[in-house]
Chain A
Amino acid sequence: MRHRRFPGVVRPAAFAFLTLAAGLLVVTVLQATGAVGLEASRRALGVLIGLMAIVTGNFLPKIRPLDALNDATTGVSAAERAAGWILIAAGVSFVALFLAAPLALARALAPIAGFASLGAIALDWIALLIRSAVGGRHAPAGPPEPGTRERRASAIWLLFAFVYVFATACLKFIADSQPWARGIATWSFLGFSLGYAVVLPLASSRERPWRRIAWHFRGWGRT
Chain B
Amino acid sequence: MSSVFKALSDPTRRRVLELLRGGPMTAGELADHFRVSKPTMSAHFAVLREAGLIASERRGTSVVYELQLSVLEDALLTFAGVFGWELRERRARPRRAASPALGR
Contacts and interface: CB of A to CB of B under 8 A. Distances in A.
Mutual binders A and B: yes
B64 to A, nearest CB: 9
Interface stretch (A36-44, A56-64, A107-115): A56-64
A77 B71 contact: no
Interface string B50-73: 001001111110010011111111
Nearest to B68: A62
Contact of A74 (B23, B59, B67, B74): B23
A142 B63 contact: no
Interface residues of B, number: 23
A60 B24 CA distance: 18
A61 B60 contact: no
Interface range for A: 20 to 34
A81 interface: yes
Contact of B71 (A1, A64, A84): A84
A126 interface: no
Interface in A55-83: 57-62, 64, 71, 74, 76-78, 81
A142 B64 CA distance: 12
Interface of A: 1-3, 5-7, 9, 57-62, 64, 71, 74, 76-78, 81, 84-85, 88, 139-140, 142, 145
11 contacts: A1-B56, A1-B99, A1-B101, A3-B58, A6-B68, A7-B52, A62-B68, A140-B60, A142-B58, A142-B60, A145-B58
